[in-house]
Structure 1
């Protein structure tokens, strides 16, 4: 048996379509478009109550298309977002183009904070699908938009995602650039300055993963000059020890230093993944030297 909300929604959709197709010598076309949008919105809300997400999305999308014709850009973007939120419940892939349309409009209108929020949402969708390349693009857009609104904390959160995912895709220069920017910015805030060490440590990990011990050594010196507390920190001591192990191509020493650090401060999954790459490179290099002997 059809739910009463669905029945009501269908009636409203039929009325909206009839309104759009109506024609009269009197009255303005703007009025009928407004009436149709109102009817589609009511239909969408009835579909929402019945959890008919796809049908609700279709109604919101109809409203968005009408608002585009009326050149009511803000209302069009709002309806694109409503449609995207409905589709995201059943098919996230189909929601992305609608978010993208809304983001473009919000940027044109100078609503960068709102654009950033939805760009971040798209980044999260791609992240869940493990499409890190696209996730990076949208997190970067979100970070840039948040920065333009001086939303420093939210911009930093998105930039960290860019750096973390870039490293996973072996784009270590981009990752290093992001982590160093985060670390430097953190030092300018009394609330965030203690996070600088973590960001600098992650940048150092990326230098080692890139197999560039000279860059790692130079980075340690530079970070110590930027943050006078870095040199005596556990993060710096770990980075120095790991860099020395890489210079010596000593995989066992590398593993021992990680074990000691992990017993005090647990490594997170990202750190473990990046450092495992470094250790594997050291092991392969040591194996190659043994074969030569």
Structure 2
């Protein structure tokens, strides 16, 4: 008998045991939800090892009902997180949002906002590549949830992911608001070095919007948090836009420290419209956004969180 067949046989026995635990009789008036939940959970694991993913999901849903009947909100939430992984196995990532939100809600009901935010973070990482809009919603929700604990540090981490996805989606007005919110979090923790880097990102986003006036205002407001190289580059960049010097603007946007920012901002810098419509000279063979993404990811390695 193959390993898969053995695991399926094991799972079927566990399901039978779970069903027996739920039965009542003259001497047993209340179903044994605790035992049934444990047996369904073990059956789900066995089915997953056997790559019988639909049956594994079915067992987890039954385990969740048992946990809920016992008011075991934390274990029910953990089971929803297991279903999220099965959605990946089944290549049904569009189903992740439903189960991630249910897991989050149950963790909150249990009084565990950190676990709730963590579940959303895991779901976002799972879906970000194929469904960035969905991942964005997860990170935005995570910021709201973690602030219940007044955990500014973690909120700033999730907020950073919100800002970067908005830039990736070219939703620059929303990205501007998100970056200002992120700056606010770092002001609370007095993380001025982080603020300096965010000022650079904010200026780039506002230039992408074609609003050099707001970009200059942002620099004046928070530029004191920037390091010397950042100050010098931003001053020259803003001057280039003010004087409509496209060549100088292109040179500043290609500066090493901008190219080595998080990949979304580095790509943004390569695509900002230059003064007088001057464009950066294209590389032979074409230099489209996909090529930019690939090049920068190769340079930065783990640029994405």
TM over 0.5: yes
Worse overlay, 205-214 or 267-276: 267-276
* TM-aligned CA deviation for residue 200 of structure 1: 1.0
- In structure 2, relative to structure 1, the CA distance for the partners of 1:84 and 1:266 (3 Å cut) is closer
For residue 120 of structure 1, what is the aligned residue in structure 2? 121
Q: How far apart, in 2, do the equivalents of 1:88 and 1:185 lie?
A: 33
| Contact kept? 1:57, 1:84, Cα under 8 Å | no
Distance in 2 (CA, whole Å) between partners of 1:7 and 1:85 is 23
Whether the 8 Å CA contact 2:207–2:215 is kept in 1: the answer is yes
Q: The residue matched to 2:27 in structure 1 has which SS?
A: coil
Deviation of residue 69 (structure 1)? 4.1
Write the deviation string for residues 90-121 of structure 1: whole angstroms up to 9, x where unpaired.
43333432222111222334321111011112
In 2, the alpha carbon distance for the partners of 1:23 and 1:267 equals: 63
Partner residue of 1:164?
164
Are the aligned partners of 1:183 and 1:197 in contact in 2 as well (CA < 8 Å)?
no
Q: 1:235 aligns with which of 213, 230, 233?
A: 230
**Larger Rg, first or second structure (1 or 2):** 1
1:211 aligned residue = 210
Partner residue of 1:17?
A: 19
Instruction: Indicate the SS of the match to 2:170.
Output: coil
Q: Structure 2: how far apart are the matches of 1:100 and 1:17? A: 28
**2:150 match: secondary structure:** coil
Given the superposition, is the C-alpha separation of residues 75 and 257 from structure 1 closer, same or farther in structure 2, using an over 3 Å criterion? closer
- Distance 1:219-1:79 versus aligned 2 partners, 3 A rule: same
Identify unmatched segments of 5+ residues in structure 2: 280-305
Q: What secondary structure sits across from 1:279 in the alignment? A: coil
Q: Output the CA distance in 2 between the equivalents of 1:53 and 1:128.
A: 23
Match of 2:301 in 1: none
Alignment of 1:278 onto 2:272: yes
For 1:120-199, list aligned pairs within 5 A. 120-129=121-130, 131-189=131-189, 192-199=191-198
Query: Structure 1 residues 162, 14: CA separation in 2 closer, same or farther (over 3 Å shift)?
Result: same
Residue in 2 that maps onto 1:38 = 38
Q: Any conservation in 2 of the 1:205–1:239 contact (CA below 8 Å)?
A: no
The whole-number CA distance in structure 2 between the counterparts of 1:263 and 1:26 is: 74
Deviation at 1:249, TM superposition (A): 2.9
RMSD: 2.7
